[in-house]
Amino acid sequence: MVKNEKQPDPRLLFGKRLAQLRKELGWSQEQLALESGLARSYLGGIERGQRNIALLNICRLAETLNVPVSQLMDFENKLD
C-alpha cells in the first residue's frame, strides 16, 4: 500500500479539502459562513489547518456543500 508514508497533519489536509470544495462552488469564505451558520473566522481557522473540527460541524459543512460526508473527508490521496 502507498498509504501512510507519513501523512501531513489531518487538520491541514481537511482545511485544504474544504477550501477546494468551497471554491468549486465559487463561494467565498463569507458565503460559506452565511450558508452554514458557522463564523467566518472559525472557517478561516479550519481552512488554515488550525482547528480540530468535530463531527457535527464536519457534517454541517458537508450538508452545506451538498456533498456526502465521506467526500468531504476524502482528502488522503486527493491533495498534493
- Interface with a copy of itself by CB under 8 A: which residues? 3-4, 10-11, 14, 52-56, 58-59, 63, 68-76
Half-sphere exposure of 32 (CA within 13 A, CB side): 27
Instruction: Please give the distance of CA 41 from its chain centroid, rounded to a whole number.
Output: 14
- What is the smallest separation between the CB atom of 20 and a copy of itself, expressed in angstroms? 14
For a copy of itself, the closer of residues 28 and 58 by Cβ is 58
Please report how close the Cβ of residue 35 comes to a copy of itself at its closest, in angstroms. 15
Spatial neighbors of 70 by CB under 8 A, at least 6 apart, are: none
